[in-house]
Amino acid sequence: MTLAAFGSVGLDDISTPEKSVKGVVGGSAVYFSLAASLFTKVRMAANVGNDFPSSVWDTLRSRGVDLAGLQEFPDRPTFRWSGRYEGAMNEAVTLKTELNVLVEEPQIPESYRSARYLFLANMGPDVQLRILEQFPQATAFADTMNLWIHEAREDLDRLLQLIYGLVLNDGEARLLTGEHNLIKAGAALQKLGPDVVIIKKGEHGAFLFTPEGRFGLPAYPVEHVVDPTGAGDSFAGGLMGALAEADDLSMENLRRAMAYGTVCASMTVGAFSTEALAQATRMEIEERYQELRDFLRF
């Protein structure tokens, strides 16, 4: 089934204990679509400025991604993010954010509206709500962040009542619910509206909460984490891609999809920017999926 994805295109400055890079390809919609397109037909929407390398679009097109929703601003720069990782690199310290073309709302091509699955990457919940309205028949998942939990709580609460699934990280889950215990936080988030809640825990894996039960997954064991940027969006892309491919929201398929998300995230963190994920093949994904099963079997 077709999956519509709304998010950001970005140029990132990333500093890790080993190396620093500047102006590399990033953005939630890019990571998400690279991962999801390994599984299903993706329709991507995002705003981009005049300074973004076009090779990324070739890669996405070669995976069948529809870029009709890519809105180009010839006189303005792309969204920029600058971040630093330290120690275990589990969390980025944001050094600078320049919204640039992100201040404009993304376009929704008429052709996208038939998508059966919808992913709303982190953006203002008011914008997420306006996009969601245009997809009344889609199964929608959304991400969010601390900023909106603090500053747009009313819109976020409305959004939570309308989406099928919420994907967020452990810190956001704790902030949104006031619960330190993530098992409790998951249950509390379900009460806010979404049927399905997924809490991403970085190197510690992820939890899934559904009306049918719970599921836990450690991360795929990566020996050399080069750059965690985009891991969460790659996870969401693999997850939603696998859900849309099977067109199946059962607990069984949600478990499988979580494992595919974990595998996609493990690809991303193995190199800077989208380098590794852009090279990944479905066969490599399947190999790591089997390795993950074996790693966890008892």
Complex with a second copy: residue 51 or 252, whichever CB lies closer: 252
Shortest CB 89 distance to a second copy, Å = 7
Binds a second copy by CB under 8 A, chosen from 225, 242, 280, 285 = 225
CB-CB contact of 14 with 83 (8 Å): yes
Q: Tell me which residues in 182-201 interact with a second copy (CB under 8 A).
A: 182-184, 187, 201
Indicate the helix (H) or strand (E) that contains 44.
strand 42-48
Spatial contact of 100 and 76, defined as CB atoms under 8 Å apart:
yes
Query: Binding of a second copy at residue 255 (CB under 8 A)?
Result: yes
Q: Does 258 bind a second copy (CB under 8 A)?
A: yes
Nearer to a second copy, 138 or 226 (CB): 226
* Closest among 279, 266, 272 to 19, alpha carbons compared: 272
Cβ at position 242, least distance to a second copy in Å:
11
Q: Report the 10 Å Cβ neighbour count for 216.
A: 16
Nearer to a second copy, 87 or 136 (CB): 87
Binding test (CB under 8 A) with a second copy, winner from 1, 21, 162, 222: 222
Query: Is 271 an interacting residue with respect to a second copy (CB under 8 A)?
Result: no
* Closest C-alpha to 68, from 26, 34, 123, 113: 113
> Should residue 158 be labelled a site residue for a second copy when binding is judged by CB under 8 A?
no
Q: Which one, of 175, 182, 188, lies nearest residue 205 by Cα?
A: 182
Structure-token pair, residue 79: 């969204």
CB 121, CB 8: distance < 8 Å: yes
Binding residues for a second copy, rule: CB under 8 A, are: 87-89, 174, 180-184, 187, 201, 203-205, 207, 213-218, 221-225, 252, 255-256, 258-259, 293-298
